[in-house]
Structure 1
Amino acid sequence: MHSIYEKDLDLNLLRVFVVVAEAGSVTEAASRLYLTQPAVSAALRRLTSAVGAPLFVRAGRGLALTTRGQRLFASAKPHLQALVEAAVSPAAFDTKTNERTVRLGLSDANETWLLPPLLRLLAEEAPRMRLIVVPVQFRTIAEALSSSAVDLAVTVADELPADTRRLTLYTGGFVCLFDPRHARPGKQLTLERYLAHEHVIVSYNGDLRGIVEDMHGVQRRVRVSVPTFHSIGALVEGSALLATVPAVVAREIISLRPNLRTAAVPLPLGGAPMELLWRSTVEDDEAIRFMRELVVRVAKTAEGPGKPGARG
């Protein structure tokens, strides 16, 4: 492959050559190429020198190809045509036949509400496309995008590379998840009762601090810290533990564990929006654009997904 680039040959000369061969004269070729006749003649001389053999001979008032010229014309024309078509007429994206594999970064708060309906849409509209789901969160998403470990992602994010495209999917809040058969938060969960209970938290740092500690400087009675939201339902059910989780997480957990309930968190937590993220370098990638559109459709049809948080 490197030898191709080592050859001192201007590929524009081949374009001039093909047009001259088709026109049969320098004058007509110059008109088609919007060049002067001397410029076309100079291009032919340069190409003849590079090839090392005559490409045309005089034939009356025009030019005729030599045997070497005929061979070059037969080889060059289809390749030039293919290059032009590739540049100005890219292949149409067909969702029914496309076999792309897209790498989707997801924070764990999004897998349950997003993946099942997304896969159903794929099965219906793009049955040959596949997904690789990569775990990301607000601390890792910048590197995942920069290194192309993911093609697009859905997560909370702070500062990102300048060429990152961002689209807010939704904004919600946190709730307190509990098992009313064991926990006793009362009719209204007060801050005193909240702090008196033991808690399970999600920490990506592997410590005993969550969003409550970081935002309000109070320390809950943390019984266990886990790295993802996946086990929260199992840990809360049958225990007196409280879990402060994004509303979207609580909704999905309760759909599987109907004995559990939620209460308002007695502290203002605010939060960042959940965003769909991708790099500008894949802005025109039709497969990734299609996947983005599917994610947006799922988010719009979800029943009040709420705001996922980085930690609970």
Structure 2
Amino acid sequence: MNDIYGRNLDLNLLRVFVVVAEAGSVTAAANRLYLTQPAVSAALRRLATTVGAPLFVRAGRGLALTTRGERLLASARPHLGALVEAALSPATFDPKTSERTVRIGLSDVTEAWVLPPLLRVLAKEAPRMKLVVLPVQFRTIADALTTSAVDLAVTVADELPAGTQRLALFTRGFVCLYDPRHVRFGKHLTKERYLEQEHVIVSYNGDLRGVIEDLFDVQRKVRVSVPTFQSIGALVEGSDLIATVPSMVAREILSLRPRLKTTAVPFPLGGSPLEVLWRSAVEDDAAIRFIRERMVDVTKRFLAED
């Protein structure tokens, strides 16, 4: 390719050449190309100079290809046709036969309830498609989208780079998760009792600060800080630890650990919207749109079961 650029070949000249060869005359080719006859003649001279050999000879009132011209036509015509086809024909996508691999970013909050039903849907509708799931969260999602590490994502996000599309799925708040066999709160969990209790928190920064510390400038008695929500249920069950978790996380934990309970968090802790995120550059990608739409369907069913 660098050699082609070095020879300064204008590929538009090949298009003119093919049309002249098919039309058999400069006049007819100029009409088809919506160019003047001098412009077509000039293009042929430039191409002959670049090739280093004449491509046409006079034949009566028209033109005939030289041997070099016939060779060039045989090579150029199918490639030009393929380029035009690629430019003008939209890519087709059939989920039943597609073998596309789509890269999805999921937070640890969403992976447990999004991925299993999504895979069941794909098994029926797109059995050859594959998913690569990468961990994302609100601090890493911007970079994951900017670098195209993921094609789309489901997570909570704040500011995002320009050209990011976002679709809110739902907004859920937080609850306090505990083991009633080891912790007694009475009718209501007060702020005082909440701050006296020892906590397990999730910190993406690897420190002892969580959402309560960040929003209300208080410090809980944190016994342990973990990087994801995956172990929260196991840590709370059978202990006097409590955890402040998104209600959707609590729902998944309670389904596996029914002895645990939840209660309201004694702070005005609103939720952030969970969103589907993707780059505008892939807005017209039918495969990514297909996965995105199925994610929305899975979410609707998830909410209906609540």
TM-score (norm 1): 0.94
Q: Which residue of the partner structure matches residue 171 of structure 1?
A: 171
Alpha-carbon distance between aligned partners in 1 of 2:120 and 2:2, rounded to the nearest angstrom: 45
Q: Does 1:2 align with 2:2?
A: yes
Q: Which residue of the partner structure matches residue 265 of structure 2?
A: 265
Within 5 Å, which residues of 2 pair with 1:8-23? 8-23=8-23
Q: Which residue of the partner structure matches residue 49 of structure 2?
A: 49
Within 5 Å, which residues of 2 pair with 1:111-130? 111-130=111-130
The 3-state SS of whatever aligns with 2:149 is coil
- Could you tell me how far 1:304 is from its partner in structure 2? 6.0
Q: Which residue of the partner structure matches residue 88 of structure 1?
A: 88
Alpha-carbon distance between aligned partners in 1 of 2:8 and 2:206, rounded to the nearest angstrom: 59
1:95-130, CA deviations, whole angstroms, 9 ceiling, x for partnerless residues? 122222222111111111111111111111211111
Alpha-carbon distance between aligned partners in 2 of 1:65 and 1:207, rounded to the nearest angstrom: 77
Q: Is the 8 A contact 1:101 1:129 kept in 2?
A: yes
- Could you tell me how far 1:66 is from its partner in structure 2? 1.4
AA of the residue aligned to 2:264: A
Gap runs ≥5 in structure 1 = 307-312
Q: Is the 8 A contact 1:191 1:267 kept in 2?
A: yes
Q: Is the 8 A contact 1:248 1:305 kept in 2?
A: no
The 3-state SS of whatever aligns with 2:291 is helix
AA of the residue aligned to 1:132: V
The 3-state SS of whatever aligns with 1:109 is helix
- Could you tell me how far 1:210 is from its partner in structure 2? 1.0
Alpha-carbon distance between aligned partners in 1 of 2:99 and 2:160, rounded to the nearest angstrom: 30
Size of the alignment, in residue pairs? Answer: 306
Alpha-carbon distance between aligned partners in 2 of 1:201 and 1:80, rounded to the nearest angstrom: 61
- Could you tell me how far 1:305 is from its partner in structure 2? 8.9
Alpha-carbon distance between aligned partners in 2 of 1:39 and 1:263, rounded to the nearest angstrom: 80
Q: Which residue of the partner structure matches residue 97 of structure 2?
A: 97
The 3-state SS of whatever aligns with 1:94 is coil
Q: Which residue of the partner structure matches residue 202 of structure 2?
A: 202
Alpha-carbon distance between aligned partners in 1 of 2:173 and 2:7, rounded to the nearest angstrom: 62
Alpha-carbon distance between aligned partners in 2 of 1:94 and 1:5, rounded to the nearest angstrom: 37
Q: Does 1:139 align with 2:139?
A: yes
Alpha-carbon distance between aligned partners in 1 of 2:3 and 2:297, rounded to the nearest angstrom: 49
Alpha-carbon distance between aligned partners in 1 of 2:146 and 2:243, rounded to the nearest angstrom: 33
Alpha-carbon distance between aligned partners in 2 of 1:114 and 1:140, rounded to the nearest angstrom: 19
Q: Is the 8 A contact 2:7 2:50 kept in 1?
A: no
Q: Identity of counterpart residues, as a percentage?
A: 75
Q: Is the 8 A contact 1:282 1:288 kept in 2?
A: yes
Between 1:73-82 and 1:196-205, the stretch displaced more is: 196-205
Change (3 A) 1:214 1:175: same
Gap runs ≥5 in structure 2 = none
Alpha-carbon distance between aligned partners in 2 of 1:55 and 1:225, rounded to the nearest angstrom: 76
Change (3 A) 1:275 1:286: same
**CA RMSD of superposed structures (Å):** 1.5
Within 5 Å, which residues of 2 pair with 1:285-300? 285-300=285-300
Alpha-carbon distance between aligned partners in 2 of 1:287 and 1:84, rounded to the nearest angstrom: 23
Q: Which residue of the partner structure matches residue 151 of structure 1?
A: 151
- Could you tell me how far 1:149 is from its partner in structure 2? 1.6
- Could you tell me how far 1:213 is from its partner in structure 2? 1.4
The 3-state SS of whatever aligns with 1:267 is coil
The 3-state SS of whatever aligns with 2:32 is helix
Q: Is the 8 A contact 2:173 2:272 kept in 1?
A: no
Q: Which residue of the partner structure matches residue 35 of structure 2?
A: 35
The 3-state SS of whatever aligns with 2:44 is helix
1:268-287, CA deviations, whole angstroms, 9 ceiling, x for partnerless residues? 11132111111222222222
Q: Is the 8 A contact 1:54 1:69 kept in 2?
A: yes
Q: Which residue of the partner structure matches residue 309 of structure 1?
A: none
Q: Is the 8 A contact 2:203 2:228 kept in 1?
A: yes
Alpha-carbon distance between aligned partners in 1 of 2:7 and 2:258, rounded to the nearest angstrom: 72
The 3-state SS of whatever aligns with 1:206 is coil
Alpha-carbon distance between aligned partners in 2 of 1:17 and 1:45, rounded to the nearest angstrom: 10
Alpha-carbon distance between aligned partners in 2 of 1:304 and 1:263, rounded to the nearest angstrom: 22
Alpha-carbon distance between aligned partners in 2 of 1:7 and 1:301, rounded to the nearest angstrom: 60
Q: Which residue of the partner structure matches residue 256 of structure 2?
A: 256
